[in-house]
Structure 1
Amino acid sequence: MTTHPSQAKPDPGSFDMLDETKLTTAQIRAARTENPQSRERDFADSLGISEAEFLAAYTGEFDRQRVTRITATPDDIIQAAKKLGEVLALTRNESCVIERVGTYDEWHDGQHASMVLGPDVDLRIFGKFWTHAFAVEKPGENGPRRSLQIFSSTGMAVHKIHLREDSNHEAWDEIVENLKLSDQVTDLEFRTKGAPEMPKADPEKADKLRAEWDRMTDTHQFGRIVSQLKMNRLGAYRIAGAPYVRRVENGSVSKALEAVSAKDAEVMIFVGNRGCIQIHGGPAKNLKRMGPWFNVLDPRFDMHLREDHVAEVYVVTKPTKRGPAVSLEAFDPEGRIILQIFPDRRTDETMVTLWDDIVGTLTDMEADQ
């Protein structure tokens, strides 16, 4: 059976380095007092610190909120999430955020990659990047706002689980107590981000790449192929050529989603980072632009894409046992993948034909652009 592309391991990237200069927790809290309205991520960016470093500074009880350091082990966190009932699952990278309301259902723990498989919450988890985690409780208009938040060693948000009004709040205190670490220090060590891996390609191996591409029977084989050729995803796309890839205009993601909405098509949207990939399967109906953001604002599914971050977009065709798998894939200026979109063929194969028609209307990028 063909599996989803999201189960492939992310590129390892560069090694991170220890951050030797940082603000004290007292300085962080003092700065927050002077700027209480800014969104936490934006506030952390303004100080030159990570979002996790900001949360760590509030470990304990400060300003009517409670932050508790908890284990970052995926098995422990997902087992706890299953007890919370319906929640909001959120995963992001620097250019895109995906949010889905649902329950954490079928859990498969693995040595290198794990999965949450459900009709709403669908995740691929790479546990070695789950380093820091916090249980966060803040006052809200309709009662406490509670969440479990997981971060990488650099303090980047890997995955977040937000309780909703109808979640099982009665389980919260016991969950936090069970996940709580004995060490509740506020001064944690974080690593600075390494440079992103730039696109890697070897034009002299282009024919070998195409030959291996033709032999694929599953999309997950692609990662092994490019690794053996000492390339990476974007590098391979740049040299593969037709009929394997077609570079299209940078506005193609929003154009494709507008067609998905108009045609009542259903798609699978993959958004993630090195520690977690989250998948939406289904329609994308209510679309709205707000500044640089292109948004899907459906009742149980939101997606927020920074269109100005999109530097390259490709229509990619890979052979599988079920027939060609055609995806639309967007990359940022540093070569990092932002998102992937496939047709959702799980319940209706006609979605493949609809999707093929949609990507067929996308405009090729001019050769000199």
Structure 2
Amino acid sequence: MMTGSDIRAARRQHSGRARDIAEAMGVSEAQLVASGVGEGTTAIGPDPNQIVPLLEPLGPCMALTRNPSCVIEKDGIYSDFHGGDHACMTLSPQIDLRMFPKHWVYGYAVEEEVKGATRRSVQVFDASGTAVHKTYLREGADLDAWSRLTGALALDDQSDTITVSAPPPPEGARMNPEKREILLQEWARLTDTHQFLRLCAKLRMNRLGAYRIAEAPFVRPLAPTILPELLETVRAAAIPVMIFVGNRGCIEIHSGPIGRLQAMGPWENVLDPGFNLHLRGDHVAEVWAVEKPTHRGPALSVEAFDAEGNLILQLFPVPKPPLDSRAPWAEIVAGLRDLEPA
């Protein structure tokens, strides 16, 4: 295992984003960040119930959540926090998060020199050393609050070397065809979208497995290349949407319109003030239009998965006045291209 000093020495031969450097070096991103402990980086307690309340006093920040195929970045303030041992959340209009503390394993407060300025961030990783969530201070952030956060959360153990576990294998599409009729019957009786995953677990399936064995009117397979067209149609129609991007430990949500779109190589990008989205279009292997009954009417989503069955992102309409976009969203989804038969 490489020590912190080994990683620091090897890092001098690389440049670029930390995630790419770590991959090139054969270490996890958390190990790369940990190697800076004592040189601008402080190991901190990773529990979001302790971290997030100390983020609000910082003021303006950028919240970043990603998976291997998509990155979401939102500017705002970490306000309206609701704690919990199993799940916690922020419900700020800008920074809207769902966090799962058991996956917040390693935490760091990082100060680094970037282009002649000091960049400050809080970075949290799971047991495999994969990034769960990152917070970057924006101009105007309260540096006294930053000092209080670092001091309050600093661990006694300031080691620059950590041991990480192997990432969990992809789950793929977990199906139980013998339970298909029960799935469809109970799907029709849903009153809230959050009930769906509990239904899948009860029937020993997962989200993608359920989609693959269900049929209309609940699901419709779409062409995997549909997402750039969908984003452009939403932009042109100027309707607000909800975009969910996450990993095992954190889900970040954008609610609002889409403005500037720009493709760069394999990346499809939304580049708006206070909101960026970066999507690897070449990673998208399956796209589904999914309808779930709720007490407010049907919840219609478009959901993308990679070739290993991992969820990349979900798009929904905004369901509440004054931004209710369910009707125009339904028209847009109805016009999307279906998956062509093999």
**Do these two structures clear the TM 0.5 threshold for a shared fold by scoring above it?**
yes
Aligned to 1:203: 177
Aligned to 2:130: 156
Q: Is 1:29–2:3 an aligned residue pair?
A: no
Pairs within 5 Å for 1:146-295? 146-295=120-269
TM-score by length of 2: 0.98
Rounded to whole Å, the distance in 2 between the matches of 1:93 and 1:238 is 22
Of the candidates 23, 34, 38, which is equivalent to residue 56 of structure 1? 34
Pairs within 5 Å for 1:327-346? 327-346=301-320
Q: Percent identity?
A: 49
Shift of 1:349: 5.9
Rounded to whole Å, the distance in 2 between the matches of 1:164 and 1:245 is 41
**What is the identity, as a one-letter code, of the residue corresponding to 1:176?**
T
Q: Secondary structure at the match of 1:49?
A: coil
Rounded to whole Å, the distance in 1 between the matches of 2:146 and 2:79 is 18
Aligned to 1:98: 72
Q: Is 1:364–2:338 an aligned residue pair?
A: yes
Count of residue correspondences: 342
Rounded to whole Å, the distance in 2 between the matches of 1:107 and 1:24 is 37
**What is the identity, as a one-letter code, of the residue corresponding to 2:17?**
R
Map Cα deviations across residues 179-208 of structure 1 (whole Å, 9 max, x no partner).
110110112121111211121112222111
Q: Secondary structure at the match of 1:147?
A: strand
Of the candidates 289, 312, 315, which is equivalent to residue 286 of structure 2? 312
Aligned to 1:16: none
How has the CA–CA distance of structure 1 residues 83 and 279 changed in structure 2, closer, same or farther, with 3 Å as cutoff? same
- 1:126–1:275 CA contact under 8 A, matched in 2: yes
Aligned to 1:89: 63
Of the candidates 18, 33, 38, which is equivalent to residue 40 of structure 1? 18
Aligned to 2:44: 70
TM-score by length of 1: 0.91
Shift of 1:146: 0.2
Aligned to 1:107: 81
Rounded to whole Å, the distance in 2 between the matches of 1:235 and 1:96 is 22
Aligned to 2:329: 355
**What is the identity, as a one-letter code, of the residue corresponding to 2:13?**
E
**What is the identity, as a one-letter code, of the residue corresponding to 1:178?**
A
Rounded to whole Å, the distance in 2 between the matches of 1:57 and 1:349 is 46
CA RMSD for the aligned pairs?
A: 1.1
**What is the identity, as a one-letter code, of the residue corresponding to 2:3?**
T
Rounded to whole Å, the distance in 2 between the matches of 1:347 and 1:137 is 42
- 1:253–1:328 CA contact under 8 A, matched in 2: no
How has the CA–CA distance of structure 1 residues 350 and 161 changed in structure 2, closer, same or farther, with 3 Å as cutoff? closer
Q: Secondary structure at the match of 2:107?
A: strand
Shift of 1:79: 1.1
Shift of 1:130: 0.4
In structure 1, stretches of 5+ residues that fail to align are: 1-21
Rounded to whole Å, the distance in 2 between the matches of 1:143 and 1:346 is 42
Shift of 1:345: 2.2
**What is the identity, as a one-letter code, of the residue corresponding to 1:317?**
E
In structure 2, stretches of 5+ residues that fail to align are: none
